[in-house]
Amino acid sequence: MIRLLTIDREYGSGGGEIAEKVAERLGWKLWDQLLTSEIARSMDCECVAVEPHEEHRDPLYYRLFKSFMRGSYEGSLNAPRLKMVDADCIREIAERVITDAAREGNSVIVGRGSAYYLKDRPDAFHVFVYAPFEEKVNRLQRLGKNEERAVHLVETVDGERAAFIKQYFGAVWPDRQLFHLMINSTIGEEAVVQTILTGVEAHDRQPA
């Protein structure tokens, strides 16, 4: 019986909005902004400090600096007192929050590596939402971004997500063998939502 649904997505494909509608239809808890809020609460910081690091790697210069700090005597003394809001810390807390959400069940979880953390759970159904480049740019423009900014985000954000998955899970993003359903959002949000719900129902009808 499916109790968990992860929705990974290309940036600008509308995956977040689709996840919200799926959660509403199922009556399940949506872990998207809530996931960011829980990470921020755990780190005793604001959401705006967390968001730039989600599904990202830290820059090379920062990783080198952090390695130096860990290896130095002064750094080892100060490390316990430092509240470092960085990709490593956020990933660790995200894993814990996602695992807790999975234990709770009846949850729709958006990105943040959730499909990879929960890949071995038989009660999880994994979806990947994508769209053509131009459609993603157009969607972002409809949301108020100018064309130059929209193109830049579409060209870069997914690259960061791919690098994040490669670094922390050793996988190529998206790992097609992981997802039960990969769907093009240009068929319309309602059609995507219905296809996901139908896929979950079909999965539940399969013999154990």
Q: How far is CA 133 from CA 16, 24, 108, 127, 154, in A?
A: 17, 28, 26, 19, 7
DSSP β-ladder status, 181-184 and 107-110: unpaired
Enumerate domains of the chain plus CATH numbers. 4-203 (3.40.50.300)
Residue 58: the pLDDT is 64
10-residue mean pLDDT series, the chain (208 residues): 98 98 98 96 92 79 48 44 71 96 97 97 98 98 97 96 95 96 98 98 90
Residue 87: the pLDDT is 87
Residue 208: the pLDDT is 67
DSSP β-ladder status, 4-9 and 181-184: unpaired
d(C-alpha 124, C-alpha 3), whole Å:
6
Amino acid symbol at 201: E
The residue behind tokens 């929960």 is 118
pLDDT tens across 70-124, in order? 554 444 444 444 456 788 889 999 999 999 999 999 999 999 999 999 999 999 9
Residue 1: the pLDDT is 95
Residue 62: the pLDDT is 45
Residue 53: the pLDDT is 87
Phi and psi torsions of 109, nearest 5°: -115, 130
Residue 116: the pLDDT is 97
